[in-house]
C-alpha cells in the first residue's frame, strides 16, 4: 500500500535515445533529470520531459495502464510497456535508459514503423473461419474455451517480436506475436482453418525459426507464455491439433 | 507548404474503436469504405472496457429484453429516449450472437453457452432483484470486442488510414439542405494533408474524459470528433451528463470493473461498514453508478473515508477467493497489484470515483443520422458510440450498455451509411476545402507564444475535478466557467517546441487541448443551466429531480463565441417517469 498523501520525490536521470529524421543522420543519447515519485511510471517520466523540458520528444501512448499496447519500448535493455514499469521497481541510483524497440524501422525518437509487424499478423489469417451458421451462439465448453485463453490476452504491442534475436537478424521471420495470433485460432474448437495456418507457419519463415530463447515470454506485458504457445504450434504441425 | 492528397470513397468512418470498426464491417462489403484513425485501431479505448456487454439472452436465468429496456430507462433517470432504449435492448441479442459468430471468446456456462453475470442496475422484472445479463470474457470484454472487430476488418480487407488525425468536416449547402461531402485529415507520420471526398461520413471518435484529472480515459480521449462538429455549428446534446465510475483506483483513476461487484465484491467505509445497504437497500452495491459514486463521495465528506487522509473507500474482494479473482477478474487484480501494490486476494482496494463516460454528444436519431436541430437530419452524416447521443443512456449510463451501444448503433451507422452512399450522388467538394486545416496546422506548428500546452491542460483538468465532478453548484460551475475563459485566452498565446513535419505529437497535443477547452465550456454551461439533480448531474443547490421544468434534453448551439441553449423533448413510450429507488 503506498502511503497516499505522503510525498517523497527524488531526481531520476533518464537517458533517452533520440532521433529526428528531419535533422539527424544517426540516433544519439540525451540526458534528462526529472522529479519523480516512487509510484510514478516510466511513462510519467517521459511525459514530464515532454511537457516541461522538451516538447519535441516523441513517443506513442494512449490508455496508460497496459491494455492498448502503444508504448512498448526498451527500458534498461528490456522490452516493456512504459506505463506498466514503475519507478520503484527500477534501480534509480543509476540512470534509466529508454530507447525504441528493435528490429522495426525507426521513425522518430521512440516511434517505430509498425507496418511490418501488422503485415506478419495479417499473414496468419487471424480471424475465425467457420462454415457453421447457427442462429444462436456456437457451443463451446469451458474446457475448450480455456484451451486458447492465454493467447487471447495479446494486445499487439510488439514487445515480444522485437525482443526476439531471430527477428532482429532476419526480418522475414513471422515473429512471436503473429504465432500467438495464429495459436489463438488454431486451438479454438470453433475454427476450421487450423491446417491452413499450420501450413503457413510450417514454412521457411515460420515456427521452426524459433530458437526457444524465452525472450518473448519475458517481454510480454500480459504474461502470456509465448514460448509455450510457439512449442504447441510446432507440435501441432507434426502431430495435428489437440484441442 | 504542406503536400495535399485527394481521395474518394463512398463511406468514410472516422475512428477505429468498437463503433467505427463495427460500422466498417457493415459498410465495407457494400460500399467503398475507408476508416481514418488517430491511433492504430487496436489502441482504441474500447479495449479498456472490462466487465461485459448486456443482452437478455436468458442463458443462466429468466430475463427479457423488455426488462432490459426498463432498466436502461430507469438507470438513465428517465431522460432516455425510450424508442432508442427499446432498439438497444432488443437488438442486443443479435449483437452478442454476431460477435460470438465472429469469434469472440466469451466465458462459457458448463453446458457451453455464453455465460452471464450481474451488473449495476440490471434487474429482473422491473427492479425486483439483480439479474445475470452481462455477457463477458473474463474482465477484458472490451479488449476481446476490439480484437474481434479488428480481426474481422482484417478478414474483410477494410482499408485503414492509421495515425491520420481528422481535423475538419466538410459541409455543403445544396438547395437549402446542409449535407456532408467529406473530411480533411492530417497525416501524423509525414505532416501531409489528406482530403477525403465521401458520400457518407460516420463519426465514431469516442469521448472526452481528458478534460478531468481523475479519469479512466486514455490520454488520447480529447473529444476531437465532437469538437469538430461543434465548430461546424452542429448542436451537442446533454453535455452536462458525465459519468463518474465509482471504482477508480484511488489517486490514479484506473478503472476496476463493476463486474467485481457483479461477482460479489463489497464497498466498505473506514469502519468496514457496507454503506450501500443504507442508500440502496434492495440492490446495494449493484445500484447504478451515479448513485454509488455520490454515496462514496458523501461517505468521505462525512468523515467515514479510509486511509491516512480519509479520502477514499474500500472495494473488498477478499471473500471472493483467489480462484474467482484469477479466472474472472484477472486484469483488475493485476492493476491493483501493479499500480497500488495492493493484493485484492488479501486486502481491500482503495477506490474513488473516476471520470468515465460522456452520456451526451452529437445528437442522432435511431438510424444514427446526425441532427442539425431537434428534427432536421444532415444527409450522409452519421455518428455512433460515445461521441453520439441517441439517447440510450439519458442522464446516467448503465454498466455494459456502452459495449452494447457501439455494437448496435455502430452496425446501424455502417449499414445506413453504405445504403445512403449507394443511392446518393457524391457531392463535389467546395473550393479550398483543405485551407482551414492547412492554416490550422501551420499556425500551430509555428506557434511561439509564452504559454505552455501541458500547463493549461493540467489546470483545466484540476479545475474540472474541483468544480464539475460528482457534486456541482452554481458557484462551482460559475467558477469553472471563469477559469475556462481565462485558459482559452492563454491558449491563444501557446507556443510549441517541435517545428518538424513528422510525428509532431507536440502539435497534436496542442490541437487536442483546443477541443478539450471548447467541450469543457459546453459541459459547464449546460450544467449551470440545468438547475436540478438527475442521474450523473448532481447539483448540491438543487438536490431534487424536477420533471416539470427539466424532463427534456439540453441542446447547446455554438453562436459565434457564445453558447446558446435550447431543449429537445424526451421520447416516452411505455414508462412514465417515476421516482428512482433501488
Q: Chain B: nearest CA to A167, how far in angstroms?
A: 22
User: Alpha-carbon distance A212 to B55, whole Å?
Assistant: 43
Residues of A in contact with B445 (CB under 8 A): none
**Among the listed residues A137, A123, A139, the one whose alpha carbon sits nearest the alpha carbon of residue A189:** A139
Q: Chain A: nearest CA to B404, how far in angstroms?
A: 17
Torsional sign, CA B129, B134, B135, B140: negative
Domain boundaries, chain A: 10-112, 115-239
Residues of A in contact with B94 (CB under 8 A): none
Report ipTM (2 d.p.): 0.96
DSSP string, A61-84: -SSSSSSS---EEEETTEEEEGGG
User: Coil, strand or helix: which one is B534?
Assistant: strand
Opening angle at CA B444, ends B438 and B448, nearest 5:
140
Among chain A residues, the shortest Cα distance to B336 is held by: A1
pLDDT digits (tens, 9 = 90+) for A173-195: 999 999 999 999 999 999 999 99
Cβ distance B48 to A134 less than 8 Å, yes or no, reads no
Sheet of B53-54, strand order = B53-54, B129-135, B116-124
A3 pLDDT band, cuts 50/70/90, is: low
User: Coil, strand or helix: which one is A235?
Assistant: helix
Average pLDDT score, chain B = 97
DSSP for residue A13: E
Reply yes or no on whether the pLDDT at B455 is more than 80: yes
User: Coil, strand or helix: which one is B164?
Assistant: strand
DSSP string, B388-453: EE-SSSTTSPPTTHHHHHHHHHHHHHHHHHHHHHHHSPPPPPPTTTTHHHHHHHHHHHT-B-SB-H
Here the cell at position B57 is 439472452
Q: Chain B: nearest CA to A109, how far in angstroms?
A: 10
* In chain B, residues 149-178 whose CB comes closer than 8 Å to chain A: 151-152, 154-155
| Minimum-distance CB partner of B309 among A5, A84, A122 | A5
Residues of A in contact with B147 (CB under 8 A): 152, 154
Phi (first) and psi of residue A183, to 5 degrees: -55, -45
Among chain B residues, the shortest Cα distance to A59 is held by: B505
**A–B CB contacts, 8 A cutoff, strictly below:** 173
Cβ distance B218 to A148 less than 8 Å, yes or no, reads no
CA dihedral A38, A40, A46, A47 (to 10 degrees): -130
Reply yes or no on whether the pLDDT at A242 is more than 90: no
| Minimum-distance CB partner of B112 among A20, A107, A141 | A141
B301 pLDDT band, cuts 50/70/90, is: very high
Residues of B in contact with A23 (CB under 8 A): 500
Q: For an interface test with B, give the residue of A4, A6, A24, A194 to mutate (most B CBs within 10 A).
A: A4
pLDDT value of residue B4: 97
The whole-number average pLDDT for the span B515-520 is: 98
B112 in contact with chain A, both atoms CB, cutoff 8 A: yes
The whole-number average pLDDT for the span B269-275 is: 97
| Minimum-distance CB partner of B502 among A108, A122, A191 | A108
Could you give the residue numbers annotated as active site of B? 289
Q: Which helix (H) or strand (E) holds B244?
A: strand B242-249
Residues of A in contact with B100 (CB under 8 A): 137-138
pLDDT digits (tens, 9 = 90+) for B43-70: 999 999 999 999 999 999 999 999 999 9
pLDDT digits (tens, 9 = 90+) for B361-414: 999 999 999 999 999 999 999 999 999 999 999 999 999 999 999 999 999 999
Cβ distance A22 to B501 less than 8 Å, yes or no, reads yes
Q: Chain B: nearest CA to A180, how far in angstroms?
A: 13
pLDDT digits (tens, 9 = 90+) for B85-140: 999 999 999 999 999 999 999 999 999 999 999 999 999 999 999 999 999 999 99
B322 pLDDT band, cuts 50/70/90, is: very high
Among chain A residues, the shortest Cα distance to B155 is held by: A127
Cβ distance B112 to A139 less than 8 Å, yes or no, reads yes
* In chain B, residues 22-41 whose CB comes closer than 8 Å to chain A: 39-40
User: Coil, strand or helix: which one is B22?
Assistant: helix
| Inter-residue contact A71 to A84 (CB < 8 Å) | no
Residues of A in contact with B187 (CB under 8 A): none
The fraction of chain B above a pLDDT of 70, given in percent, is 100
**Among the listed residues B131, B68, B140, the one whose alpha carbon sits nearest the alpha carbon of residue B104:** B140
Q: Which helix (H) or strand (E) holds B158?
A: none
pLDDT value of residue B350: 97
- B78's CB contacts (< 8 A; 6+ apart) are B394, B547, B551, B570, B572, B575, B577, B578, B580
User: Alpha-carbon distance B431 to B125, whole Å?
Assistant: 58
Strands (E), B38-77: 53-54
DSSP for residue A189: T
Cβ distance A4 to B496 less than 8 Å, yes or no, reads no
A5 pLDDT band, cuts 50/70/90, is: low
Helix axes A226-239, A194-201, angle to 10 degrees: 100
| Minimum-distance CB partner of A68 among B103, B218, B254 | B218
Cβ distance B308 to A149 less than 8 Å, yes or no, reads no
pLDDT digits (tens, 9 = 90+) for A20-70: 999 999 999 999 999 999 889 999 999 999 999 999 999 999 999 999 999
Residues of B in contact with A193 (CB under 8 A): none
User: Coil, strand or helix: which one is B561?
Assistant: coil
- Could you tell me the pTM of the whole model? 0.97
Q: Cis link prior to B391 (omega < 30° from 0)?
A: yes
Cβ distance A54 to B497 less than 8 Å, yes or no, reads yes
Q: What is the CATH topology of the domain spanning A10-112?
A: Ubiquitin-like (UB roll) (3.10.20)
B271 pLDDT band, cuts 50/70/90, is: very high
The whole-number average pLDDT for the span B195-224 is: 98
- Percent helix, strand, coil in chain B, to 5, is 35, 25, 35
- B73's CB contacts (< 8 A; 6+ apart) are B80, B82, B85, B394, B575
| Minimum-distance CB partner of B143 among A23, A67, A148 | A67
Cβ distance B42 to A69 less than 8 Å, yes or no, reads yes
**Among the listed residues B227, B90, B130, B93, the one whose alpha carbon sits nearest the alpha carbon of residue B574:** B90
Please name the residue that has the C-alpha cell 474513488: B352
Q: Does domain A115-239 have CATH number 1.10.10.10?
A: no
pLDDT value of residue A172: 86
Reply yes or no on whether the pLDDT at A6 is more than 80: no
Please name the residue that has the C-alpha cell 452536462: B240
**Among the listed residues B477, B464, B236, B255, the one whose alpha carbon sits nearest the alpha carbon of residue B359:** B236
pLDDT value of residue A1: 47
pLDDT value of residue A4: 53
DSSP string, B339-375: II---TTTSPEEEEEEEEEES-BEEB-TT-EEESSSS
Q: Which helix (H) or strand (E) holds B118?
A: strand B116-124
A204 pLDDT band, cuts 50/70/90, is: confident
Cβ distance B154 to A122 less than 8 Å, yes or no, reads yes
Residues of A in contact with B113 (CB under 8 A): 137, 139
Residues of B in contact with A185 (CB under 8 A): 103
Q: Chain A: nearest CA to B43, how far in angstroms?
A: 4
A134 pLDDT band, cuts 50/70/90, is: confident
CA dist B194 → A202, B5, B38, B206 (Å)? 41, 5, 13, 22
- B162's CB contacts (< 8 A; 6+ apart) are B16, B37, B39, B40, B41
Q: For an interface test with A, give the residue of B21, B40, B307 to mutate (most A CBs within 10 A).
A: B40
Among chain B residues, the shortest Cα distance to A187 is held by: B105
User: Alpha-carbon distance A223 to A84, whole Å?
Assistant: 12
B218 in contact with chain A, both atoms CB, cutoff 8 A: yes
Cβ distance B106 to A59 less than 8 Å, yes or no, reads no
Q: Chain A: nearest CA to B250, how far in angstroms?
A: 9
pLDDT digits (tens, 9 = 90+) for A105-132: 999 999 999 999 999 999 999 999 999 8
pLDDT value of residue A205: 86
CA dist B540 → A106, A163, B242, B393, B440 (Å)? 53, 54, 16, 22, 41
Amino acid at each position: 500500500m503506498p502511503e497516499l498523501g505522503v510525498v517523497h520525490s527524488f531526481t531520476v536521470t533518464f537517458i533517452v535515445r533520440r532521433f529526428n529524421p528531419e535533422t539527424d543522420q544517426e540516433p544519439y543519447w540525451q540526458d534528462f533529470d526529472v522529479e519523480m515519485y516512487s509510484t510514478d511510471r516510466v511513462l510519467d517520466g517521459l511525459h514530464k520531459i515532454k511537457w516541461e523540458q522538451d516538447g519535441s520528444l516523441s513517443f506513442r501512448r494512449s490508455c496508460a495502464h497496459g491494455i492498448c499496447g502503444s508504448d512498448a519500448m526498451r527500458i534498461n535493455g528490456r522490452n516493456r510497456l512504459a506505463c506498466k514499469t514503475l519507478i520503484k521497481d527500477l534501480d534509480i541510483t543509476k540512470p534509466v535508459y529508454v530507447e525504441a524497440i528493435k528490429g522495426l524501422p525507426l521513425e522518430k525518437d521512440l516511434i517505430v514503423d509498425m507496418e511490418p509487424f501488422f503485415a506478419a499478423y495479417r499473414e496468419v489469417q487471424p480471424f475465425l473461419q467457420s462454415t457453421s451458421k447457427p442462429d444462436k451462439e456456437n457451443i463451446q465448453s469451458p474446457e475448450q474455451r480455456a484451451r486458447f485463453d492465454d493467447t487471447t490476452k495479446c494486445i499487439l504491442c510488439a514487445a515480444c517480436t522485437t525482443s526476439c534475436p531471430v527477428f532482429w537478424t532476419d526480418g522475414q521471420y513471422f515473429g512471436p506475436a503473429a504465432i500467438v495470433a495464429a495459436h489463438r485460432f488454431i486451438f479454438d474448437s470453433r475454427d476450421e482453418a487450423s491446417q491452413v495456418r499450420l501450413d503457413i507457419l510450417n514454412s521457411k519463415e515460420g515456427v521452426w525459426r524459433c530458437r526457444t530463447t524465452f525472450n518473448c515470454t519475458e517481454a510480454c506485458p500480459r504474461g502470456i507464455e509465448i514460448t509455450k504457445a510457439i512449442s504447441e504450434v510446432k507440435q501441432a504441425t507434426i502431430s495435428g491439433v489437440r484441442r | 507548404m504542406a503536400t495535399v492528397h485527394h481521395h474518394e470513397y463512398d463511406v468514410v468512418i472516422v475512428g477505429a474503436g468498437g463503433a467505427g470498426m463495427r460500422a466498417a464491417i457493415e459498410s465495407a462489403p457494400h460500399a467503398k469504405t475507408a476508416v481514418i484513425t488517430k491511433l492504430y485501431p487496436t489502441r482504441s479505448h474500447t479495449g479498456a472496457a472490462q466487465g461485459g456487454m448486456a443482452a437478455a439472452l436468458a442463458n443462466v436465468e429468466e430475463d427479457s429484453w423488455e426488462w432490459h429496456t426498463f432498466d436502461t430507462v430507469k438507470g438513465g433517470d428517465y431522460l432516455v429516449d425510450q424508442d432508442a432504449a427499446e432498439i438497444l435492448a432488443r437488438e442486443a441479442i443479435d449483437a452478442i450472437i454476431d460477435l460470438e459468430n465472429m469469434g469472440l471468446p466469451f466465458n462459457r456456462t458448463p453446458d457451453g453457452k455464453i455465460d452471464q453475470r450481474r451488473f449495476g442496475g440490471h434487474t429482473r422484472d422491473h427492479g425486483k432483484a439483480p439479474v445475470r445479463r452481462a455477457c463477458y470474457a473474463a474482465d477484458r470484454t472490451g479488449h476481446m470486442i476490439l480484437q474481434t472487430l479488428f480481426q474481422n476488418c482484417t478478414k474483410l480487407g477494410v482499408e485503414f488510414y492509421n495515425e491520420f488525425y481528422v481535423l475538419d468536416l466538410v459541409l455543403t449547402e445544396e438547395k437549402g439542405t446542409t449535407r456532408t461531402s467529406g473530411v480533411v485529415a492530417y497525416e501524423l507520420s509525414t505532416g501531409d494533408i489528406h482530403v477525403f471526398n465521401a458520400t457518407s461520413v460516420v463519426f465514431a471518435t469516442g469521448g472526452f474524459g481528458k478534460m478531468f484529472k481523475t479519469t479512466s480515459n486514455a490520454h488520447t480521449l480529447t473529444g476531437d470528433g465532437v469538437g469538430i462538429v461543434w465548430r461546424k455549428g452542429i448542436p451537442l446534446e446533454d453535455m452536462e451528463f458525465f459519468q463518474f465510475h465509482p471504482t477508480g483506483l484511488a489517486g490514479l483513476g484506473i478503472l476496476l470493473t463493476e463486474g467485481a461487484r457483479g461477482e460479489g465484491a463489497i464497498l466498505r467505509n473506514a469502519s468496514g461498514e457496507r454503506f450501500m445497504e443504507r442508500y440502496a437497500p434492495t440492490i446495494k452495491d449493484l445500484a447504478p453508478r451515479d448513485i454509488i459514486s455520490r454515496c462514496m463521495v458523501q461517505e468521505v465528506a462525512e468523515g467515514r473515508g479510509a486511509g491516512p487522509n480519509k479520502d477514499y473507500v474500500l472495494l473488498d474482494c477478499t471473500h471472493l477467493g483467489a480462484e474467482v479473482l484469477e479466472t474472472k477478474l484477472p486484469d483488475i487484480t493485476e492493476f491493483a497489484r501493479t499500480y497500488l501494490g495492493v493484493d485484492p486476494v488479501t486486502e481491500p482496494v482503495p477506490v474513488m470515483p473516476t471520470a468515465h463516460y460522456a452520456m451526451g454528444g452529437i445528437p442522432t436519431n435511431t438510424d444514427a443520422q446526425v441532427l442539425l436541430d431537434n428534427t432536421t437530419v444532415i444527409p450522409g452524416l452519421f455518428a455512433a458510440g460515445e461521441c453520439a447521443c441517441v439517447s440510450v443512456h439519458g442522464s446516467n449510463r448503465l454498466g455494459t450498455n456502452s459495449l452494447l451501444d457501439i455494437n448496435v448503433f455502430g452496425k446501424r451507422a455502417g449499414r445506413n451509411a453504405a445504403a445512403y452512399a449507394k443511392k446518393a450522388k457524391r457531392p463535389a467538394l467546395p473550393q479550398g476545402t483543405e485551407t482551414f486545416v492547412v492554416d490550422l496546422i501551420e499556425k500551430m506548428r509555428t506557434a511561439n507564444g509564452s504559454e505552455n500546452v501541458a500547463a493549461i491542460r493540467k489546470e483545466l483538468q484540476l479545475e474540472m475535478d474541483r468544480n464539475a465532478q460528482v457534486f456541482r453548484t452554481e458557484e462551482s460551475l460559475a467558477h469553472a466557467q471563469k477559469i475556462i475563459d481565462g485558459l482559452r485566452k492563454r491558449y491563444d498565446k501557446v507556443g510549441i517546441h517541435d517545428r518538424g513535419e513528422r510525428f509532431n505529437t507536440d502539435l497534436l497535443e496542442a490541437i487536442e487541448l483546443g477541443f478539450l477547452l471548447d467541450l469543457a465550456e459546453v459541459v459547464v454551461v449546460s450544467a449551470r443551466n440545468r438547475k436540478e439533480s438527475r442521474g450523473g448531474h448532481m447539483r448540491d443547490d438543487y438536490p431534487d429531480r424536477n420533471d416539470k421544468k427539466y424532463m427534456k434534453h439540453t441542446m447547446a448551439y455554438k453562436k459565434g463565441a457564445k453558447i446558446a441553449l435550447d431543449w429537445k423533448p424526451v421520447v416516452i413510450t411505455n414508462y412514465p417517469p417515476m421516482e428512482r429507488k433501488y
